[in-house]
């Protein structure tokens, strides 16, 4: 059986100001290389690999889904842990995790697909157990390369 911790690869944070947050993480944690990208009209993100783990920093704009708002720190240089990311290895694992989430009765405040169905995502409200959300992704086709240009630190 698949667990809700299988496929861990990412720590997702929310930041008020990406410039200040990336500078602060560089100084405090030695993370000096990020890829920055506007992923929607309401979100800009910065990504960096630290060994096998990806760090994602998200700065939101008006129109962002509510699940991010409570995590925006007051300090423009700070980040707040918002979610852990889990990547599903194949369609069988994707179907299994969706079934498991539904059977457990977890709320899924965000879910969908982009890139013509090649990037599938599911945000699960696991805050009662972990204090943060869990994001599950399943990538196929061209989406399997979306992190190829994320720098390694």
Q: What is the pLDDT of residues 66-100, one digit of tens each?
A: 999 999 999 999 999 999 999 999 999 999 999 99
pLDDT greater than 60 at residue 140? yes
pTM of the model: 0.94
Q: What is the pLDDT of residues 104-126, one digit of tens each?
A: 999 999 999 999 999 999 999 99
Q: Please compute the mean of the pLDDT values over residues 55-64 and round it to a whole number.
A: 95
Q: What domains can you pick out in the chain, each with its CATH number?
A: 8-143 (3.10.180.10)
| Cα 122 from Cα 84, distance rounded (Å) | 12
Phi, psi (degrees; rounded to nearest 5) at 72? -70, 120
Q: What is the pLDDT of residues 44-57, one digit of tens each?
A: 999 999 999 999 99
Q: What is the pLDDT of residues 7-29, one digit of tens each?
A: 999 999 999 999 999 999 999 99
- pLDDT score recorded for residue 1: 54
């Amino acid at each position: 059986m698949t667990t809700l911790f299988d496929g861990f690869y990412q720590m997702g944070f929310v930041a008020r100001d990406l410039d200040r947050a990336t500078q602060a993480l560089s100084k405090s944690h030695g993370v000096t290389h990020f890829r920055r990208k506007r992923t929607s009209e309401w979100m800009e993100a910065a990504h960096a690999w630290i060994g096998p783990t990806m760090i994602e920093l998200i700065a939101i704009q008006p129109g962002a889904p509510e699940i991010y708002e409570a995590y925006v720190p007051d300090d423009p240089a700070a980040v707040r842990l918002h979610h852990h990311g889990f990547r599903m290895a194949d369609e069988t694992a994707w179907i299994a995790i969706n079934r498991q989430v539904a059977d457990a009765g977890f709320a899924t405040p965000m879910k969908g697909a982009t890139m013509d169905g090649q990037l599938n995502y599911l945000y699960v409200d696991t805050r009662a157990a972990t204090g943060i959300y869990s994001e599950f992704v399943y990538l196929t086709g061209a989406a399997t390369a979306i992190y190829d240009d994320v720098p390694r630190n």
